[in-house]
A and B are shown apart, each in its own frame.
Chain A
Amino acid sequence: MPDPAIRTEALSKTYRSGIINRESVHALREVSLTVQRGEIFGLLGPNGAGKTTLLKILLGIAWPTSGRARLFGHATHAPVARQQVGYLPEKHRFPDFLTTDQMLHLYGRLSGVPSDEREARIPELLDQVDMSEWRGTKLKKFSKGMMQRVGLAQALLNDPDLVFLDEPTDGVDPVGRREIRDILLWLHNQGKTIFLNSHLLSEVEKVCTRVAILNQGALVRLGTIDELTAMERLYDLQTTRIPDGVLSALDDVLRPADAFETSQDAIFRYRLQVENRADLNAVLDRLRSAEVELEAVEPVRRSLEDYFIDVVSPQNSAPEATSA
């Protein structure tokens, strides 16, 4: 079985400052996670949660205080670990005296891409990020959104198997955001692994296969979007009208939903909250015995944003899942 794209084991990082009164900041606390090849993995967390520190350790930019981090089975500080890696930093600072073409050739050379491959890939990538016509223009003339696009082309130049993107849609207009999202999905279809760090939870929700939430340096949640956003045993029922007698008999678990009426004739919405699967089936049996016809039973989901805010609020931030 091939090594996972990313694996961290009890990864911790403590920043110390001051000479006499040394202060310690625990940026990461024993973070263990695994990102399998081919995933689009989203890393979420409030400011100061440790996201950037984790990204820096994974890319060999910072050293862990303890624990281990590996990319494709290689220690992150070994250059070989970064051979199949592309990276778009959040606050990138490309040499703005270069043209797009010169910049891509330069960073391609730094990634070890031979000249003839660069010649072939640069036009393709610029076309993909819709920057072909700006190939000969100096970077200093570009807006933030345009810089993000050429930055993304730079990250993909060495045809990486693992792409780290830190706020890739920052400063990009909605159309550009959609295009970047399409590129991510296209990369995903090609079997690439994407590690996405973004504040735009709606973007993360749309593209990520799994999500981790960091808070105060600790990994507090890890799972698929569906797992994280499904509310505990809360269901949305669409049925024919439930007789009042049945409804009042089940009033501790079943009630009409806020949007009671649906667009379909004679189909109504109810909200069902049960303790376990047996209770769910018991309620459904009771409804059937009352000749209520079921149209749909769907778990109620929150938006990722609601879930995120819930998780990182002070009373709910205790670690729940710290391993993968």
Chain B
Amino acid sequence: MTALSGIVLLSVRELWAKKIVIGLFVVSTLVLLMTAFALNLDVVEGSLAGVRVFGENLGDAQDGDGEGITLQNVVFSVQAVVAGATYWIGILLALFSTAPLFTSLLETGHIDLLLSKPLSRTQLFIGHISGVWLTMLILSTYLLGGVWLIMSIKTGVWNPSFLLSIGIVLAMFGVMYSVIVFTGVWTQSTALALIVTYGLIFISLVLAGGEQLANQLQPGWRAVFWGFYHVLPNFAEVTQTVSNLSRAEPIASWYPFASASLFGAVLYGSAGFWFTRRDF
């Protein structure tokens, strides 16, 4: 257990030594400060009287018919924007900052020293990934959990389903990090790992428009298209899941998230198998 915690600690420390992770932490802090101090919600008897950002009025309060800006709408919108930005910008930056970590783990002089310690290769593999996930959990909880807490305290509107988006963001980061790990363990190339990972995210944008696009294709190509849809991670489509959770709306389908998770699990399994079998 001591040895396993050592490798988790090594990954966490290695990430915190990177400026980009510090940068993510600083940006998260700025977002939290803005949410706390720059966004002013005038609440009168439990209803929203006005919204001001940096002192500027953004809109009127709800009218008699209940239309316009409601307090709940503002809270949900702010949370959806933060969750959406975290999902896209946060994960893209997190992948960029964590990608070199796995390939540097495999470098001569580093991996051989770690393998000479009394821990199994499986422990080393799991410990490294756990360290990366733990760092991302801390960062996403700090940002999303902080925004949730500040907004809830300020408005009295508590939206617990928003907290689930932390899990979705973390899981989808994990899915895309599996691509980095899988590519890294075969090629030891950070650049290639990032190209493949970002390439899959780009493809997921195409796959997200599946219904409309597939209908334009010939039957053979349509089958190929749907094959990709079911096999590759539906990163872009999961944005809707994050958005729905932020707005406390029901989730239309968990399939994109479930199939992406399965994709990640298969890639971690394959990468782990090769990691335990290969020579270093």
Contact = CB atoms under 8 A, between A and B. Distances in A.
A138 to B, nearest CB: 10
A63 interface: yes
Contacts of B33: none
Contact of B115 (A61, A91, A95, A113): A61
B7 A110 contact: yes
Chain B, interface size category, equals: 20 to 34
Given A109-B2, A109-B5, A95 B116 contact: no
Interface string B1-40: 0110111011001100100000000000000000000000
A110 to B, nearest CB: 4
B218 interface: no
Interface string B81-125: 000000000000000000000000001111111111111100100
B241 to A, nearest CB: 37
B280 interface: yes
A95 B17 contact: yes
Contact of A89 (B3, B13, B113, B118): B113
B279 interface: yes
Interface residues of A, number: 32
Contacts of B5: 109
A164 interface: yes
Interface stretch (A78-86, A216-224, A284-292): A78-86
B112 A61 contact: yes
A94 B108 CA distance: 11
A92 B110 CA distance: 6
A60 B109 contact: no
A93 B109 contact: yes
B212 to A, nearest CB: 40
B13 A112 contact: no
21 contacts: A15-B279, A56-B279, A56-B280, A60-B115, A63-B277, A85-B118, A89-B108, A90-B109, A92-B110, A92-B113, A93-B107, A93-B108, A94-B113, A97-B13, A97-B14, A106-B6, A106-B13, A109-B5, A110-B114, A110-B117, A113-B2
Interface of B: 2-3, 5-7, 9-10, 13-14, 17, 107-120, 123, 277, 279-280
Interface of A: 15, 56, 59-63, 79-80, 82-83, 85, 87, 89-95, 97-98, 102, 106-107, 109-114, 164
